[in-house]
């Protein structure tokens, strides 16, 4: 039995045939296409994850500020002191700088906003890269006769704004109780 290379050299042919080149180039192209597709998918997933982490981090700071003010607040959505609350809004009195001031939180244009002193001047708490899809305040124990401190459950859904693909919202919920009873 003669080796294949020896047989090819006897024929006077050297190198590869056109069919061999086409097959090898086709296989190489398929492998490269699969690798590039996987790389592009990994980059897209990394961008989504980075955008969502940034949005969650910013929301965490906003939620911490809201929770801190709720803990020291009183007269939550009390018609006599703060006026009634609309859906998606929380109004209460909190000591800011040693002075009791009306504080309001609401959802507006995909951002959480805060107002101090009962004014209509709201400032954004969330950054531009954060899209707040919903914000809900559930208030329990705000009657003066129930013997319980007010408890506010804050439910929020957030995702990254201007994402290249849709990212499902992250849902966060926390319950905060005020330190003092409403009297």
For residue 131, which phi and psi values (nearest 5 degrees)? -115, 110
For residues 7, 9, 14 and 15, what is the CA-based torsion angle, rounded to 10 degrees?
Answer: 40
Convert the pLDDT of each residue in 157-179 to its tens digit.
998 887 666 778 889 999 999 88
| Position with higher pLDDT, 124 vs 162 | 124
| pTM higher than the cut 0.85 | no
Q: Which of 11-15, 19-23, 145-149 has the lowest mean pLDDT?
A: 11-15
């Amino acid at each position: 039995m003669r080796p294949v290379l020896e047989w090819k050299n006897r024929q006077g042919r050297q190198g590869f045939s056109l069919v061999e080149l086409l097959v090898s180039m086709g296989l190489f192209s398929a492998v490269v296409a699969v690798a590039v597709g996987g790389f592009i998918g990994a980059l897209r997933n990394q961008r989504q994850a980075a955008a969502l982490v940034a949005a969650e981090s910013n929301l965490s700071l906003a939620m911490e500020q809201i929770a801190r003010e709720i803990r020291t607040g009183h007269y939550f959505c009390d018609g006599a002191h703060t006026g009634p609350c609309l859906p998606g809004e929380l109004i209460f009195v909190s000591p800011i700088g040693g002075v009791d001031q009306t504080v309001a939180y609401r959802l507006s244009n995909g951002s959480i906003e805060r107002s101090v002193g009962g004014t209509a001047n709201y400032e954004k708490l969330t950054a531009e890269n954060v899209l707040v899809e919903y914000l809900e305040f559930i208030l329990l124990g705000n009657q003066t006769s129930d013997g319980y401190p007010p408890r506010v459950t804050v439910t929020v859904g957030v995702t990254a704004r201007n994402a290249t693909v849709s990212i499902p919202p992250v849902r966060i919920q926390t319950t905060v109780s005020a330190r003092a009873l409403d009297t």
